A and B are shown apart, each in its own frame.
Chain A
């Protein structure tokens, strides 16, 4: 097990290194000169050269890359010259909002997918099964930003159940003292129940919107796998031992059917935590998506480099957790141990 985790770690580090090189080169291969963007269109060639020198752009790529890696490790992520703030400040201000939204979206998608897949396959329930299949079909086909707009229109504008798109909290609510950067958690930690409720109400619609497609994907996957496993011969054997339908399902069918869902859920979680541009825009969510798009357009490569690397680290970490869970559930993926 330890050897397996060590192997995972090495693999993860290599992936992160690869991602850092790609992110680094990508921003430099793009046409355009960030130094010129900073000093403005009317600046002289001399001013541009000076700016390049100040940013270290005159150095060889290897040196630039070394500085970038060193900066990442020491916590100096550089400056976002479009805003004048440090990259760290920009990302710390926005990433938690995206991660909180992604986490809730994931929880909604995952829990509902497991629940509905199990309920619609455990017993023959044509009505429920049909509804789940239709809903998941629609969920996969509906663009999330469009669904978000409709949800806002109905649940906020028409029925007033949820607040409008005013970000993470209502205009009158003061953010809770920072501990985790997740407002719902921080408010509960501080005992500010009103704020927690407000934060929950604000995150509900965007989280549902963002979680819809992953839910649809997971529910279809798990449903199909459950149906497949329920035809497996070993379930007949289990039943012939005298186990009831439900223990056979819980102890044998579900663990076997769950493996592909586990992998998919890990990938989806990493993707959701890294933010989504369109849904954040629709709900005015102060997440990282908008920042990254703007930064790419303005060639603010310190921001993009850092973000790509952070999301690579996130992916690697989530995947490692999934791999470890996987080997706990499925003995076949464990490395053969020579005896």
Chain B
């Protein structure tokens, strides 16, 4: 660990969120800790149902019953907002931290104009008049590259395409120049070309504003392009954390490796089906006693240690910027990977 104090915009410690359903208590986020440095971009990847969105909403304090944040801290710019009342949180949301929602088709109020929905967040946090807010909204729409912004301000969501709506959501999230934007699968619902355009817009804007981003996605291609650091989430835990370069070079956790393998690679097209991860994530209401990935794991499936013992985080690699993985075999896997690349004599 470096001694120099890092400038953290977000420091989440042991965050726990449960859903109290009739089927039992679903532990959607299980003691998750993560840090985001000011201006950095982190990716949060994992399958559907791994708790990514719940984690995002827990940070914003927007978990609705039957869900509840039951423990942990969310330190944003030095204040633990997990202890804030909803009234206090209202001043933080949209101002210091904001959300780009995942599904642009349903994320805008269908009966309000685009302009009104952008101005709403501006007026909520700044002492300016409606006219100024409107001018501001036009600028924001231009920033997210909506053509003819001044005219399209008075349109309604149904008059916008999916990509345009996603730009509007980005405009809303960035309206008050927050320190952190949580982007929950901002491109999942869009076609590939639109995805790239929307991501370019987001990237340009956060670079200009030096905004930190937490990008939630299951698209590892997006992560590779966009993020400095990656957190891999599985069954409510961050099972691996590493810098993006390290993660793509070597995955200490078998789950990360499996995720990466199941990304289609046009440059390495093979015959046969795309590799998938067999099975599905465990029910978060009935977690297995050992490693939650054990039943699906190509490495540890059936091994006693994996079945009975919950793996603790293991740090491997560069001590200044380690890869941390919750796997009994993280050390071995990493050493093997380093050995492979050394003996391979590659670049």
Contact = CB atoms under 8 A, between A and B. Distances in A.
Contacts of B60: 240
Contact of B106 (A233, A240, A244, A252): A233
A239 B107 CA distance: 11
B62 A239 contact: yes
Interface string B112-140: 11000000110011000000000000000
A332 B158 contact: yes
B169 interface: yes
Contacts of B109: 234, 238, 252, 256
B103 A240 contact: no
Nearest to B101: A237
Contacts of A251: 112
B111 A242 contact: no
B10 to A, nearest CB: 15
Contacts of A233: 101, 103, 106-107
A331 B107 contact: no
A243 interface: yes
B111 A330 contact: yes
Contact of A242 (B91, B113, B156): B91
B216 to A, nearest CB: 14
A23 interface: no
A332 B110 CA distance: 8
Interface stretch (B19-27, B38-46, B92-100, B330-338): B92-100
A241 B94 contact: yes
Tell me the interface secondary structure of chain B in the complex. Answer: mixed
A245 interface: yes
A329 interface: yes
A324 B60 CA distance: 40
Interface string A247-280: 0000110011000000000000000000000000
A242 B110 contact: no
Given A240-B60, A241-B172, A234 B108 contact: yes
Contacts of A236: 57, 62, 99, 101, 107
B169 A242 contact: no
Nearest to A242: B94
Contacts of B62: 236, 239-240
* Residue among A124, A238, A329 with the highest chain B CB neighbour number at 10 A: A238
Contacts of A245: 86
B87 interface: yes
A232 interface: yes
B186 to A, nearest CB: 12
Interface in A218-239: 232-234, 236-239
B344 interface: no
Interface in B129-162: 156, 158
A241 B93 contact: yes
A232 B101 CA distance: 12
Nearest to A258: B111
B167 to A, nearest CB: 14
Contact of A239 (B93, B111, B112): B93
A241 B108 CA distance: 12
Contact of B124 (A237, A243, A256, A330): A243
A251 B95 CA distance: 20
Interface string B74-102: 00000000000011001111110011010
The winner among B103, B111, B169 for most chain A CB atoms within 10 A is B111
B156 A234 contact: no
Nearest to B169: A237
A16 to B, nearest CB: 31
A238 B110 CA distance: 12
Contact of B120 (A124, A232, A241): A241
B120 A243 contact: yes
A256 B101 contact: no
B272 interface: no
Nearest to A253: B109
B110 A256 contact: yes
B108 A244 contact: no
A244 B125 CA distance: 12
A243 B89 CA distance: 10
B111 A241 contact: no
B86 A242 contact: no
Nearest to B154: A331
Contacts of B86: 244-245
B65 interface: yes
Given A255-B111, A332-B156, A244 B90 contact: yes
A243 B101 contact: no
Contacts of A256: 109-111
- In this complex, the member of B90, B108, B158 whose beta carbon has the largest number of chain A beta carbons within 10 angstroms is B90
Interface string B39-76: 00000000000000000010010100100000000000
A240 B93 CA distance: 5
Interface in B147-187: 156, 158, 169, 172-173
Contact of B98 (A124, A240, A332): A240
Contacts of B92: 242
Nearest to B62: A239
Nearest to A244: B90
11 contacts: A233-B103, A234-B108, A237-B99, A237-B108, A238-B120, A240-B60, A240-B93, A241-B172, A242-B94, A242-B121, A331-B158
Interface of B: 57, 60, 62, 65, 86-87, 90-95, 98-99, 101, 103, 106-113, 120-121, 124-125, 156, 158, 169, 172-173
Given A240-B62, A241-B121, A242-B93, 13 more contacts: A233-B101, A233-B103, A236-B62, A237-B169, A240-B101, A242-B91, A242-B94, A242-B124, A242-B125, A243-B124, A244-B90, A330-B110, A331-B110
Interface of A: 124, 232-234, 236-245, 251-252, 255-256, 329-332
What are the 10 tightest A-B residue pairs by CB atom distance, in nearest-first order? A242-B94, A241-B121, A240-B99, A241-B94, A233-B106, A331-B156, A242-B93, A234-B109, A242-B124, A242-B90
